[in-house]
Amino acid sequence: MKRIFCFLALLGSLSAGVQATEPDYQLLDTTRVYEMDVVEVITTNAKRTTPVAHENLTREAIVRSSYGTDIPTALALTPSMIATNETGIGIGATSIRLRGTDATRINVTVNGVSLNNPDSHSVYWYDTPDLISSVGTMQVQRGAGVSTNGSGAFGGAVSMTTDALKPNFGGSASLSYGSYNTNKQALQLSSGLIADHWVVDARVTHIGSDGYIERGSTDLKSYMAQVGYYGDKTKIKLLSYGGMAKTYLTYNGVSREEMALYGRRYHTSGQYETTAGPHILADGTHVAYYDDETDNYLQINNQLVLNHRFDNRWQLNATLFYTYGYGYYNQYKDDAWLASYTNLKTDVEQSDLIRSKLMYNHLGGANVAANYTTRNLDLTLGGSYSYYTCPHWGELKWVDGLDSSSLAGRWYDNDVVKHDGNIFARADWCVLRGWEDNELHLFGDLQYRYVHYKAWGVNDNAIWGDEGVTMQPIDVDKEYNFFNPRLGISYIHHRHNVFASAAMAHREPTRSDFTDRHMFAADDSYPEPERLIDFEVGYNYIAPRLSLGINLYYMLYHNQLVATGMVNDGDDALNVNVDRSYRRGVELMASWRATKWLTLSANATLSQNKIKDYVDELRDSPTYGENLGDMTISYSPSVMGSFTADFHVKGFGAVWTTQYVGKQYFTNNEIEALSLDAYCVTNLDLGYNLTTKQGSTVRFGVTIYNLFSTLYESNGYGYSYMWDGERYDEAYYFPQAPIHCLANVTVNF
């Protein structure tokens, strides 16, 4: 009945969608003619005339997700977007997929600076806790977006800017508490304008939770500090943000059989058997848990942003950035083979042990862009360069039966250096401007990107051979030269906008694609870079009370790296190149302001995601080497959509959201046992805003997640193998919490 209700809600609401609105620019006062902000993103944001499928999140949608959950929660209701989570409540290890592509192919920027890790290409949202509380604008671009800094946008891009500094003294205090001991405390203060030129702003936050998954605890501490200077033509902002994250490892998931025996909250991380363990499993096994099976990370992001306007046509934007990161995670290994740890000198074959994997990274660089604007031409010239270095190594903290002096040394040790630079030229030319707001725009975007990736040393994978055990060697030295063009056209007539574009994008392999290839590839060759040719055609209608949109896309890939379903022991997907593949679909969006107090919106995506003539190259697969024909790309649902009802009257507000995500396969073989069931989940946000006599506002709110207690999993992984002539399919899932809530009180003063 729940699924029928969700389906009818989505079907009946296709006359509504997440409303795309441009940012609201306000004047500081009558003497200043620019917004009280210093971040003007001229390199990564799309405008109404840009022939790119994009969505601007409203300020209200951003704020609603800032009471405790991560940024993927806010992004999940935009077209073709899926949010995943390991702890079951939207906090901790969260990620996103867009049009079926994973987070490593979605370029995320903050003030034009890439947030993706240069090595893994992933965004680890808990490394920048509560970043959403400092975000002013957020735009999602689908497909090959405009020129970006960092790894190429294969599924799309998320462009964020930090919030505008406030002209008056003020601040906010926020407290949240909810199910599974989820809690948040945040304090933000702004100095207001000092001596007509300076503003200082700061925020500190703590977020904690026990998690729905057993031992899925999260402890996040974060900060944001900004200093802004405002001159007549020059604006400068120095900002630093980041935090410390401590999360229990939950990335191994749980099988269907384990859920049936031990419940949906069960997982095995840190678990080991013992004759007198305090916990007894359903089958009578005594177990205990290593309580420091945790991921620990410190990240500090620093930016110096300069905006200078030479005149009413020329503007310069330059950003210097430096990111520091240090992290490690601890693991308990039960009855491990000690020969796999080459730093040990012992005759003992197997023993329990505790190991740590560590990394220490630096990322620095600069983005520069100049913008020339006239009535009919918007021209941007720019480029960026970044340098990244990161050693990876492993240490043993304890081995049962060995003293600490026997544990010296590193059992693996490797280094990475990456140079990443690009130059680009982008032009939006209005070639025709007629009566009744008729405009015809031609758009061109040309980018050259250079990447030099080098990795050397030995990895943590043990290679067992006739002459003993050695650690997997790493010897990668690759240079890539990518040319990424985009051409497009858009026509605007009053409330109507039609656009079409063709774009090419390239992307280099990730660290895991190089280092863990031996675990699944047919040979030891290096992976190839990917190429995407993206065709988009769209139409938008925007009126005061109704907006409609449709977008058709056809994404053709060469050497796309698709997930095999397997992951390494760091939860990174193991990918394999496929020669020819495509994603094509239609995205429907609409929004209807039915009355002044009720707005209905929805979106839906119908798609096909296929590999042409897929040859199974997974070593352990029972169909290894076979041409399986055209197969569905892993983690690519053919149907997804969401519905929102936003009710506001006086100080009271209620927002109902329903999201549907279709079936997904873990592998490219379309195996039913290795799949994720479709799910439909509903959330309800209730809030009341009270204004005091002093002008302060107080918001009391509560969000009820998974209102109908749907039993579903947002993510998983799996693989097949052969044993004694029989095929086995192993699948692991990340269950999400049933109905739960998070209450919040926020005071703005």
The beta-strand segments (E) located in 543-623 are: 546-567, 573-595, 598-611
Nearest to 66 by CA among 203, 170, 244, 192: 203
Alpha carbons 308 and 398: distance in angstroms, whole number: 56
C-beta of residue 130 within 8 angstroms of C-beta of residue 187: no
Q: What is the pLDDT of residue 14?
A: 39
Go through 635-664 and write b for each residue having 16 or more CB atoms within 10 A of its CB, e for each that does not. Answer: bbbbbbbbbbbbbbeeeebebbbbbbbbeb
Q: What is the pLDDT of residue 91?
A: 92
Q: In this predicted model, what pLDDT tens digit does every residue of 288-300 receive, in sequence order?
A: 999 999 999 999 9
* CATH classification at residue 148: 2.40.170.20
C-beta of residue 380 within 8 angstroms of C-beta of residue 425: yes
User: Who contacts 248 (Cβ-Cβ below 8 Å, separation ≥6)?
Assistant: 211, 215, 216, 217, 218, 269, 270, 293, 294, 295
Q: In this predicted model, what pLDDT tens digit does every residue of 366-398 receive, in sequence order?
A: 999 999 999 999 999 999 999 999 999 999 999
Pairing mode of beta strands 81-85, 675-676: unpaired
Q: What is the pLDDT of residue 18?
A: 37
Q: What is the pLDDT of residue 574?
A: 82
Q: What is the pLDDT of residue 21?
A: 37
Sign of the C-alpha dihedral computed for residues 537, 659, 702 and 713 taken in this order: negative
Domain count, the chain: 1
Q: Which helix (H) or strand (E) holds 293?
A: none
Domain housing 91 = 2-748
Write the DSSP assignment of 151-166 as a string of letters: S--SSEEEEEEEPPPP
C-beta of residue 459 within 8 angstroms of C-beta of residue 471: yes
Q: Please, what are the averages of pLDDT over each run of 10 residues along the chain (749 residues)?
A: 43 38 38 49 78 90 83 92 94 93 92 93 91 92 79 82 90 96 96 93 96 96 95 94 95 94 94 85 87 96 96 95 97 92 88 95 96 95 96 95 88 96 95 85 95 95 82 94 95 94 94 82 81 97 96 97 78 84 98 96 98 84 86 97 96 96 95 96 96 88 97 93 85 97 95
DSSP 3-state percent helix, strand, coil across the chain (nearest 5):
10, 60, 35
Sign of the C-alpha dihedral computed for residues 86, 90, 91 and 92 taken in this order: positive
C-beta atoms surrounding 151 within 10 Å: 24
Q: What is the pLDDT of residue 466?
A: 75
Specify the 3-state DSSP secondary structure of 254: strand
Which pTM value belongs to this model? 0.91
C-beta of residue 594 within 8 angstroms of C-beta of residue 646: no
